[in-house]
Amino acid sequence: MLNPINMAAAASLKASAAIKFTRQAEKLSFQAHDIDDERTYDTTAVEARFITPLDPVIETANGGRLPAVPLEEALELNKLRDEVDGLAAKAKRPGHEPGKTGHEESLDGASLTDHASVQSTHPEAVLRTAIPPSRTHPLFPELPLYGPPSLMRDLQCFFFRCTSAVLSLAFLGVIVLGSAFTTIPLMFRHIGIRLTLRDPDARRPFYEEEKRRKKIRKDEERAWKRQRRRGGDISKAKDENEEEGHSADEYEPTEGGKDPLVCDVGYYARRVGLDMEEYKVQTEDGYIIDLWHLYNPKEYIPASACHRKQRGPIIFPKNEDNRSSSRTSDASQRSGKRKYPILLVHGLLQSAGAYCANDDDSLAFFLAKSGYDVWLGNNRCGFKPQHSLLAYKDPRMWNWNIRQMGVMDLPALLSRVLSETDFEKLGLVCHSQGTTETFVALAKEQRPDLGNKISVFCALAPAVYAGPLIGKMYLKFMRIISPGMFRVMFGIHAFIPFMMTMHSWLPGKLYGALGYRVFSFLFNWTDDRWDQGLRDRLFQFAPVYVSAESMRWWLGRECFATQKCILATREEGKHEDEEDEEEDYYVHSAEQSSEHMLHTAGNTEHQRRGRRAWYDDQVPPFALWVAGSDALVDGRRLLRRFERRREPHVRVVYSKIIEEYEHLDVLWAMDSVDKVGKEVREVLWKTVPEEYREICKVPRDCECVQAWEG
């Protein structure tokens, strides 16, 4: 029999551990226990689940998920839970003598982290102090801990919303005024040219082609109106389709007429004879994101609304039943007409609609009509911020940056597309920030196993190294101010949400013109190579909601703007430059050296460099299209990293520098289909696994393309 004294000590110890666990759980719960709500128990934190060793998310009693918390807090929750469970188990064992054990020492002494000295991790702390310090992790600083709702926290959030509403709007006003002032010289130059009876647009590189396409759109608009008046079927085929080899009735537009400039990918898909269905995808930290699927309505039956809902936070589930939603006709399946799936992911402040705004010259529509099964992935929040538990006003809704987008969003999108198509791999095409989150996710410290799900990663304007634009005054201002001041100016919620308010208020044409001027001023873009008649449409799909924390990662003091790289510190970058200069010297002196000695020294150097590689042997093949006139990112430096074999496991199957292209020209230039789209189509098919090449429809103009070796 147990000694009564020992039983009392064990009960006291268990009660103490339970109290500590309860307090830690309340700190990380969706809602505090002092708020009278029948759902409180169901949304109490019960466990921290680690997506990667450095990316914990909180699971609640009802199976819900809450976003990232500081690593120490997650470890403390699991430690206390293990102690409670361990004490409960020991209490059932006769003869257990609770006294001088390791468990007792950890309960009575210091835990994993001395929380009393870390004020920033306390949920009731003033939010000004509840932020990561200015000097934290050089690449991915820890995110703050805001805790569950309380009166004090709500007041603090209200304060930040007020200050950021005023200051961020003032910042936006300065940007708008700056863009207006820089437009004045251009306006007078155009006026001067017109006074000499010349057309200023005649200097544009695609002037004649722009006039031709404008005339075609006018003719199609009139034809659509005539058909509508007669009430007949719309079967007018576009000249571009005929030039690409389409039959006249293969893709029949079901929308047409004058473009109303709407933020609707489905509408623009129907204008070119395609259509779109929207899926909801839940990430492992509870965000609900949009996944758009393009299809030919003559070949495919859309899924039901119930089927397209989110399925919970588990990705790549094992022993999953075949959930393929392919509604292609049985005859097409038997004749080898399955389409290989590809996923497209967009850039910063954009949505996947950026791939769909150029009619048949849109990359997404071009690849869909070429014979691929095209899926368009959007990042968290987007146009309609959604979370399984959190509301818009909760600061935890916006507590994420590029790390979470890569580690959580991309896997969720990949998982749903593969589940719906019943494939084990797909082709991935990303632009700008979409490439960033992929390069981050595939790193050997993050989720390298994702590489086994990707047949090829096509990176358009890859955003890994910073370009010269990062030194502009208004961007440098964001880097100079402290993290605390950044939150005072831009808040702890969405980044300048007034931009989205303007999007909903202003007419499409005015918003498109304003959007172009502002973003052109910010990022040094021009529309020289775009179809000017479609320019206003291009900006209907941007901007979207992003977190202020995410923008702080891009532009703040301790992250990308300072390090100038997404996976290496500034010091590592300088060391890399020194190595390149040294190697260039030895290559230049090769004529005076023994070839064998030079080869041996080179192999030793590359082996040493390989130990600092970002990727392991699970990384998929890469294909890169670099914009040569891109001031925002430095794609040449990334190519040099691969050429100098700093990544021994990376196989670059294709690379190209388009000297005249700017950052968005890879998507929107009038010749982008010829210079980018057709090559992407070919690379995607060359890298398709052999077992899928036998059962999938061969994309148009890829019949003679052979797969790459290796």
- The residues that are catalytic are 432, 630, 663
Rg, Å, the chain Cα set: 28
- Does residue 292 contact residue 65 with C-beta atoms inside 8 Å? no
The residues near 348 (Cβ < 8 Å, ≥ 6 apart) are 432, 433, 463, 546, 554
Task: Provide the terminal-to-terminal Cα distance of the chain, rounded to the nearest Å.
Answer: 69
What is the helix, strand, coil percentage profile of the chain, to 5?
A: 50, 10, 40
CA distance 106 to 102: 6
Smallest Cα–Cα separation from 31: which of 519, 508, 394?
394
- What is the greatest pairwise CA distance in the chain? 108
**507 exposure class (CB count in 10 Å sphere: 0-12, 13-18, 19+):** exposed
DSSP track, 448-467: GGGGGGEEEEEEES--SBB-
- Does residue 136 contact residue 147 with C-beta atoms inside 8 Å? no
CA distance 11 to 691: 62
- Strand duo 275-282 + 288-295: pairing: antiparallel
- Strand duo 426-431 + 622-627: pairing: unpaired
* Residue 566 CA from chain centroid, whole number: 14
**3 exposure class (CB count in 10 Å sphere: 0-12, 13-18, 19+):** exposed
The residues near 588 (Cβ < 8 Å, ≥ 6 apart) are none
Residue that the structure tokens 């070839």 belong to: 595
Strand partners, 622: 457, 652
CA distance 681 to 673: 10
Strand partners, 431: 460
Smallest Cα–Cα separation from 47: which of 7, 80, 1?
80
- Does residue 168 contact residue 496 with C-beta atoms inside 8 Å? yes
- Does residue 181 contact residue 109 with C-beta atoms inside 8 Å? no
Phi, psi of 653 (to 5 degrees): -85, -15
- Does residue 623 contact residue 652 with C-beta atoms inside 8 Å? yes
For 442, the token pair is 């595939």
Per-residue CA distances from 91 to 84, 109, 171 (Å): 11, 21, 61
Residue that the structure tokens 């939010």 belong to: 127
- Does residue 681 contact residue 654 with C-beta atoms inside 8 Å? no
For the chain, what's the residue count? Answer: 710
